[in-house]
Structure 1
């Protein structure tokens, strides 16, 4: 009896007719592909030589190894964000061809400036605080503005601070300040206690709200290591001439003083309260500077005009521990004006309801 044997690869050798599509025969292509893979992997006896079967197996193995190696060998490069700098921005390496000036190195760890401002209710308070706020807003951070009022924190001052755009702390001095002579001293003392309690690390500067300051002053404050001082220009009590008070320097060293004092009862250091700044660690880390354990404070029991020099004597022993700013102390970086309307207070909420009638009415 005649037998008919079908060749194993007949399905592969078949070709579609002229009007037949390849997509119309999916059922025949899949078994053929599986049959070929089984033959390749040794599931069925192959009609080709063993050397060819070994070669195809090696080729398939190399392909699989390369495929999985490419997937898992570089996990750190799968996201372009991992190549970005830590600050999230890129620097353009292209520089101007005519740039000849050497670039100054930027210190990313700038010292904190702690600006202490005592203030009180008077007619020009809003003007002075707003002017100082605009000045401090131009100073590069970090900067902390500590504003101290007496008895209670007023809404008017709080509103100015909230709108200033400067990091601030609004404190209240609750001690008896009926004597205006010692009011500023006790307010500054309240700020020093706050700095000591919270161990704020930076450069402390007493900036009254009625003075005028240059931005260069705040830039140089960050260069102070322990205690820095500079000359201050001010108007005389008669307001008809300008006087100078502060250090005479040579190469950053204090070698003398500008003063207008006369007589034998002279201050030890001829420095205005706005003419010096110091490292805040002298308040809460005296061991670093080899100070006694007694707290450094502003005293309100000394005579008028001696509060500043008495405070400085607790920080430094003599002029050798001072740093003159700038090196030759030849620049005026702040002015003390003494311009106030005495016995006048600001209107509540900075608004007035009196004297609003027109003096010259429009026709």
Structure 2
């Protein structure tokens, strides 16, 4: 016979959920998104992480002409419509990925992130002097709630950095520190000559830096893999980075990607005018 002793039905509450919201910086989480079959699944997973972090303000930018009901419905169902904004920014046709293009062949999210940064700058100006953090939070990654507790400790005028799992052909890409806890480089093996060989998920920027450096933005006119360097070179240097996640020894975010579903039978139904999702949002 096995006896289970249960003292409580509740899991311990993460520290960040018990802190006074007024004592925490606002985290502007910028998420470019676009329609594809897995979009709702991706945003549902992401929204349920954001629900657990009270100091996140979600800036969603759709690659479309107008905001969509699919995204609006997710925000309403989760209650995040009260701490989010839904923007749109179309990717120029020349930079739009075609169905068979590798996802790395063209810069992604440039238009959407820059549109979000314009909005954030205006928002910061209106809410000054409250401390804020800007994080580029893609919709397909996996995030620990603990990451946002770490992120909330970024100092005014600083850029925080941490390891990212499953990226760049490695189990983990991470900043390298010296004995004084100063970042001296990175362990990246893909294009390590970059000034900042780091993944987009591996840093967050003090909002004050975007006010100090209004020209800081992303660009179509950089080499593949240089978007991170393009934004960071405006606002910091490697040795001024603020290492987080226990001296960059913990992985709190993973560069995951949902496998595209096999919808060949759905395509057959569509040709017959009998699609399976008629009248249902999937």
State the TM bucket, normalised to the shorter chain.
0.7 to 0.9
Structure 1 residue 235: deviation in Å?
Answer: 5.1
- Match in the other structure for 2:174: 246
- Match in the other structure for 2:245: 326
Higher RCO (C-alpha under 8 Å, 6+ residues apart): 2
Q: Distance in 1 between matches of 2:242 and 2:93?
A: 34
Q: Distance in 2 between matches of 1:187 and 1:300?
A: 12
Compare 158-167 and 216-225 and name the one that shifted more.
Answer: 158-167
The TM-score, its normalising length taken from structure 1, stands at 0.59
Residues 93-122 of structure 1 deviation map (CA, whole Å, 9 limit, x = unaligned): xxxxxxxxxx99956421111111111111
C-alpha RMSD of the superposition: 2.8
Q: Distance in 2 between matches of 1:127 and 1:150?
A: 17
Structure 1 residue 143: deviation in Å?
Answer: 1.9
Compare 213-222 and 244-253 and name the one that shifted more.
Answer: 244-253
Structure 1 residue 177: deviation in Å?
Answer: 4.8
Residue correspondences, number: 233
The SS at the match of 2:173 is strand
Structure 1 residue 130: deviation in Å?
Answer: 0.3
Show the 5 A alignment for 1:196-207: 196-199=121-124, 201-207=131-137
Q: Distance in 2 between matches of 1:235 and 1:297?
A: 23
- Match in the other structure for 2:116: 191
Residues 30-53 of structure 1 deviation map (CA, whole Å, 9 limit, x = unaligned): xxxxxxxxxxxxxxxxxxxxxxxx
The SS at the match of 2:147 is helix
Q: 1:355 to 1:149 in 2, by over 3 A?
A: closer
Q: 1:353 to 1:146 in 2, by over 3 A?
A: farther
2:168 touches 2:188 (CA, 8 Å); kept in 1? no
Q: Distance in 2 between matches of 1:343 and 1:193?
A: 38
- Between structure 1 and structure 2, the one with the greater Rg is 1
Q: 1:161 to 1:248 in 2, by over 3 A?
A: same
Q: Distance in 1 between matches of 2:168 and 2:246?
A: 27
**Is 1:145–2:44 an aligned residue pair?**
no
1:252 touches 1:326 (CA, 8 Å); kept in 2? no
1:220 touches 1:325 (CA, 8 Å); kept in 2? yes
- Match in the other structure for 2:187: 258
1:177 touches 1:183 (CA, 8 Å); kept in 2? no
The TM-score, its normalising length taken from structure 2, stands at 0.74
